[in-house]
Amino acid sequence: MIVRTLDHVWSPQLRNRRRIDVYLPTSYSAGRDRYPVVYMQDGQNLSDPDTAFAGTWELETTVDDLAHRGLEAIIVGIDHAGEARIAEYSPFPDRRHGGGFGEDYVSFLVETVKPRIDRTFRSRPGRESTVIVGSSMGGLISAYAFLTRGDVFGAAGVMSPSLWYGQGRIFDVVQSVPAPKGRVYIDVGAYEGTATVRNTRRFARLLTRRGLRRKDGSLRFVEDPRGRHSEDDWARRLPDALEFLLR
């Protein structure tokens, strides 16, 4: 795996800067192939123990695992904005926690980050090759981006999402937007709490009603019987999630 770092990337939408790490497959330097792109939230937690909040997603291991399965992609890890993380990952404000800058964050991804990646690297720019992934609040904003910018994101990995945020308004979004097209992977751990499991099941049901189906390969819902709300659990489930989204 080859890592390229884009330092101090300016966001006109959010008026701040952040680091973005671009993980290129090993074969990238050996040819002229183009690759699908996976945009992952909370970039600090993907591979570097020195920056991770509580353990990493062991991304190098996942990339090697996927290569053995015949799958390669460019993975873009976008650092969160520190104290502004919740505000940027929330599509709507919450009575207790505030926030609500998610629309600007999605615009940052669509109008600033993706064009730069497509200019700089050999990506496949079409929606069918553009995936967004996140966990917890990152899962919420990834779901929102897929639902509201389906012209850009053709697949989403929604891991242990914070669907409760903003009084659960994401459920209204699912029912109000045009029927989503593409692939969605959703998961939750049995030890994340009854309300979290219930909300995630509801989210999967609503997507099913909007036309995404397990039987046609457009939806996968995983309940991890030993899963908790942790980096270790998301790291363990990531290879299968990406295999589903990239096939």
Q: Name the nearest CA neighbour of 136 among 223, 231, 203, 51.
A: 231
For the chain, give every domain's residue range: 2-246
Secondary structure letter of residue 97 according to DSSP:
T
- CATH superfamily, with its number, for domain 2-246: Alpha/Beta hydrolase fold, catalytic domain (3.40.50.1820)
| Helix count and strand count (H, E) for the chain | 9, 8
pTM: 0.96
Q: Cα separation of 216 and 50, whole Å?
A: 41
Per-residue confidence (pLDDT) for residue 51, from 0 to 100: 78
Task: Name the residue among 102, 115, 62 with its Cα closest to residue 241.
Answer: 62
Q: Would the pLDDT of 221 be above 90?
A: yes
Closest CA to 60 of 139, 142, 121, 3: 3
Q: What is the pLDDT of residues 39-64, one digit of tens each?
A: 999 999 998 776 776 778 889 889 88
pLDDT tens readout for residues 23-43: 999 899 998 999 999 999 999
Query: Six-digit token pair at 75?
Result: 């993975």
Tell me: the pLDDT tens digits for 81-140?
999 999 999 999 999 999 999 999 999 999 999 999 999 999 999 999 999 999 999 999
Q: How large is the average pLDDT for residues 197-212?
A: 98
